[in-house]
């Protein structure tokens, strides 16, 4: 799960719902461990009794949002975005800027399916790309269902 | 410099021209060190008497394209994309897939100016984003001039 | 927790005991996720009802030892040793070769206390170094007690 | 080339001599790019008309010592030690603390030959280890000759 560090209230609500639904489906939820959609998602995970792991960019476990279950400081800065894409089996992105775009790109480069909510659209030669493993979802439920249904075997 | 590992002949010609022009302007040219636009770019650098450095994804210096000046194996796989974005002061992207998109996103996340040639267009909310440090160039000359003019102080 | 990938039966027994004791003390146990002392340690953690996380060097979560609780593929190769040293608050090393030595060195470089069992001794100028945060323990109980007592605030 | 960031005058002189000799033998010299033995080594390389590359731990190319030929900021912190060990074909270590020990360990883990000058000695079971690819050299000339003679094919 990845997305905006400074989300709108709507994006935060989407992220919380994504976290709750992922946990209800039994998924272990990885995120970047800081505030914004990461924190909202971790709160949703906690509400549903699930487990979240935060891969922190810095060295200090205390940087993690309070709702994060397990905080792993990596000290890698933005490189932890690549690590998150490697460590997951499917991704849901909510909102977000260039950091989120790097996570989407890495995840797709590695073959992970990516569902987006209120996030980037990718064009080439003036037209939106056609990638069956990249899905612009209309709701948290649709994003979570699609992502979990598209986990590679 | 980054871009497609399996470029069209047109993209390879663009990359060679970019490499030659960067070297003529005295730039040290970093790339991913393998084939495709990386190799074409390195050939252009060599033609102009410049120096290229290839940050290889694997462990074996012999994986580098023959034209690469200095090959540095990183063993980091696609994470070397993030390293390339960190190590550069400006980026030119030619063509490319999700790996190139990750480099563009990382470079912009880190504040590096990025000129693109025949590459990704980024949209949000149905419209192309407005980012003064991301430039869709019409020619190698325009890409190189813009990139070098936008290197942060 | 780190150590030999091809341990002696004695080292494997030490590692299993370390894992069990860490879990009994309520510690979250990080290791490299593969076989050898990592697997033995994870088995000890599981016996005590605790949680282990394996930071795998490769891309494939199925590479993890069966007893690992949560497997996180990093794709970083031996660089994950540095990550393990960053992510932990204290380290116990059992046996091991140069990979384990790199983990001990990184952990001490970052200020983490390190207890060793049947592992490296470090000399400078012909004499064993004097480092109050590096402890050659005589038993798993001593290693675990010392490590948990020396976690920095 | 790696070693102490705060060397004694004797260690700095050793490092400068190592740099000069490596460059005279035509080697491309990689180091960590900061002060101490890294800087002294780079000065030696420059005196001999050679090329040095500094893999910086931080983001800022201006952190590099003035004598470094090419500065590559990695932003990886101490993880760049692992990168240095990957990128080299042989290592010379002068003095140094735990950071240098991590570089020695990584280099040996990856099969690179390592010559040491006034640096760590490694013991197991109470005796110095017997590793034909780890050489405690008595002089810069001996270190450089041995290292270049032991580069794997």
* pLDDT, block means (10 residues), chain C with 153 residues: 94 97 96 95 97 91 93 88 93 95 96 97 93 98 98 87
List subunits contacting chain A, requiring 3 or more Cβ pairs under 8 Å.
B, C, D
pLDDT at position B60: 86
Mean pLDDT of A7-29: 97
In this complex, is the C-beta atom of D28 within 8 Å of any C-beta atom belonging to chain B?
yes
D52 Cα to chain A: minimum distance (Å): 25
Distance in angstroms (rounded) separating the CA atoms of residues B82 and B138: 26
| Cα–Cα distance for residue pair B142/B122, rounded to 1 Å | 20
Residues 35-54 of chain A with CB under 8 A from chain B are none
Instruction: Test C79 with B77 for CB contact under 8 angstroms.
Output: no
CA distances from C16 to C36, D76, D97 (A): 10, 33, 31
A105 touches chain B (CB under 8 A): yes
Q: Is the pLDDT of residue A19 over 90?
A: yes
Q: Does C75 contact B75 at a Cβ distance shorter than 8 Å?
A: no
Distance set, CA B93 to CA A140, B116, C97, C112, D35 (Å): 34, 5, 42, 41, 34
Could you tell me if C82 lies within 8 Å of chain D, comparing CB atoms?
A: yes
CA of D80 vs chain B CAs: smallest distance (Å): 10
Q: How many whole angstroms separate alpha carbon D40 and alpha carbon D18? A: 9
Distance from CA of D123 to the nearest CA of C (A): 5
User: Which token pair is B98?
Assistant: 């999700």
Is A82 at the interface with chain D, CB within 8 A?
no
Mean pLDDT along residues D76-104: 93
Contact between D72 and B89 using a beta-carbon 8 Å cutoff: no
pLDDT recorded at residue B71: 92
**C149 interface with D at CB cutoff 8 Å:** no
Which chain C residue's Cα is nearest to D99? C109
Predicted ipTM of the assembly: 0.94
- Partners of A134 in the β-ladder: A114
What are the backbone angles phi and psi of residue D93, rounded to the nearest 5°?
-115, 130
| pLDDT tens digits, B110-149 | 999 999 999 999 999 889 999 999 999 999 999 999 999 9
A78-100 average pLDDT score:
93
What pLDDT is attached to residue C135?
98
CA distance B120 to D48: 45
Report the residue from D70, D87, D89 with minimal CB separation from B74.
D87
Chain D positions in Cβ-Cβ contact with residue A75 (cut-off 8 Å): 77-79
Chain B residues inside the 8 Å CB shell of C78: 75
Q: Report the Cα–Cα distance between both ends of chain B, in Å, rounded.
A: 19
Question: Which of D28, D70, D73 is the closest to B86 by Cβ?
Answer: D73
Nearest partner of C144 among C34, C35, C41, C40, judged by Cα: C41
D143 to chain C, closest Cα gap in Å: 17
> In this predicted structure, what is the pLDDT of residue A153?
80
pLDDT digits (tens, 9 = 90+) for B109-119: 999 999 999 99
Instruction: Give the pLDDT band (50/70/90) at residue A56.
Output: very high
Percent of chain B with pLDDT strictly greater than 90: 88
Distance CA C112, CA C81 (A): 14
Q: How many CB atoms lie within 10 A of CB C85?
A: 26
Domains identified in chain C and CATH numbers: 2-149 (3.40.50.450)
Residue D121 sits at φ, ψ, to 5 deg, of: -115, 140
Residues B56-86: tens digit of each pLDDT? 998 888 999 999 999 998 888 888 999 999 9
- Would you state the pLDDT for residue D76? 87
Mean pLDDT of A74-96: 92
Q: Which helix (H) or strand (E) holds C133?
A: none
What's the whole-number mean pLDDT along residues B12-33?
Answer: 96
State if pTM tops 0.80.
yes
Determine contact: D99 vs chain C, CB below 8 A. Answer: yes
Sheet strand arrangement including B29-31:
B29-31, B52-56, B70-73
Q: Which of D117, D124, D126 to mutate to test the interface with C (most CBs of C within 10 A)?
A: D124
Tell me if D123 and C126 make a contact (CB, 8 A cut-off): no
Task: Quote helix, strand, coil % in chain A, to nearest 5.
Answer: 40, 20, 40
D59 neighbourhood in chain A, CB within 8 Å? 77
Mean pLDDT, range D78-99, rounded to an integer: 93
User: Is the pLDDT reported for residue D131 higher than 90?
Assistant: yes
Beta carbons of A73 and C89 less than 8 Å apart: no
B110 CB near a chain A CB, below 8 Å? yes
A79 CB neighbours in chain D (<8 A) are: 75-76
């Amino acid at each position: 799960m990845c997305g905006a560090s400074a989300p709108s209230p709507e994006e935060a609500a989407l992220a919380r719902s994504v976290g709750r639904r992922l946990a209800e489906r039994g998924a272990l939820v990885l995120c970047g461990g800081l505030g914004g959609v990461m924190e909202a998602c971790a709160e949703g995970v906690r509400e549903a009794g699930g487990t979240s792991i935060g891969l922190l960019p810095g060295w200090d476990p205390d940087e993690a949002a309070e709702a994060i279950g397990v905080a792993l400081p990596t000290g890698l800065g933005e490189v932890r975005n690549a690590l998150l894409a490697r460590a997951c089996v499917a991704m849901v992105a909510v909102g977000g800027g260039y950091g989120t775009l790097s996570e989407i790109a890495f995840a797709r480069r590695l073959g992970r399916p990516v569902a987006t909510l209120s996030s980037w659209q990718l064009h080439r030669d003036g037209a939106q790309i056609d990638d069956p493993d990249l899905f612009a979802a209309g709701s948290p439920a649709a994003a979570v269902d699609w992502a979990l249904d598209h986990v590679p075997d």
